Amino acid sequence: MRLDKLVATTLGRTRSQVRKLLQDGAITVNGAKATSGKKHVDPQQDVISAFGDELHYESKRYLMLNKPAGVISATTDPQQQTVLSLLPESARKGIFPVGRLDKDTTGLLLLTNDGHFAHQLMSPKKHVAKTYRALVAGTVTAQICTQFSAGLTLRTGEVTRPAQLTLLKGNVPTGKSSVQIVIVEGKYHQIKRMFGAVGMKVLQLQRCAIGQLQLDPQLKAGQVRALTPAELALFKQLNTLS
Residues classed as catalytic: 102
- Is 204 within 8 Å of 69 (Cβ atoms)? no
Q: Rounded to a whole number, what is the largest CA-CA distance in the chain?
A: 65
Count Cβ neighbours within 10 Å for each residue of 65-76 and write b for 16 or more, e otherwise. Answer: bbbbeebbbbee
Written in H, E and C, the secondary structure of 15-64 is HHHHHHHHHCCCEEECCEECCCCCCECCCCCCCEEECCEECCCCCCCEEE
